[in-house]
Amino acid sequence: MVSFVATPIGNLKDITLRALETLKEADVIFCEDTRHTIKLLNAYEIKKPLYACHKFNEREAAEKILAAAKRGEKVAVVSDAGTPVVSDPGNIVCQVLREAGEAYTLIPGACAFVAALVLSALPADRFAFIGFLPEKKSEKIAVLEKYKDSDLTLAFHSAPQDVDKDVKAMFEVFGDRAACAVREISKIHEEAVSFRLADGLEGEKRGEFVLVVEGAKEKECPLNALTEKEHIQHYMLAGLDKKEALKRAAKDRGVSKSVLYPFSVDL
Walk me through the domains of the chain, giving residue ranges and CATH numbers.
2-107 (3.40.1010.10), 112-213 (3.30.950.10), 222-264 (no CATH)
Residue 246's pLDDT band (cuts 50, 70, 90): confident
- Residue 208: pLDDT above 80? yes
* Model confidence at 222: pLDDT above 90: no
> Inter-axis angle of helices 228-237 and 242-253, to 10 degrees?
130
- Torsion sign across C-alpha atoms 142, 143, 146, 149: negative
Q: Is the pLDDT of residue 220 over 80?
A: no
Sign of CA dihedral 36, 42, 45, 51: positive
Q: Please give the residue that has the higher pLDDT: either 207 or 224.
A: 207
Q: Is the dihedral of CA 54, 56, 59, 61 positive or negative?
A: negative
Pairing outcome for strands 104-107 and 2-5: parallel
Q: Are strands 127-132 and 104-107 parallel, antiparallel or unpaired?
A: unpaired
Share of residues in the chain with pLDDT > 90 (%): 80
Q: Could you tell me if 173 and 154 are in contact, meaning their C-beta atoms sit under 8 angstroms apart?
A: no
pLDDT for the residue 45: 97
C-alpha–C-alpha distance, residues 158 and 177, integer Å: 18
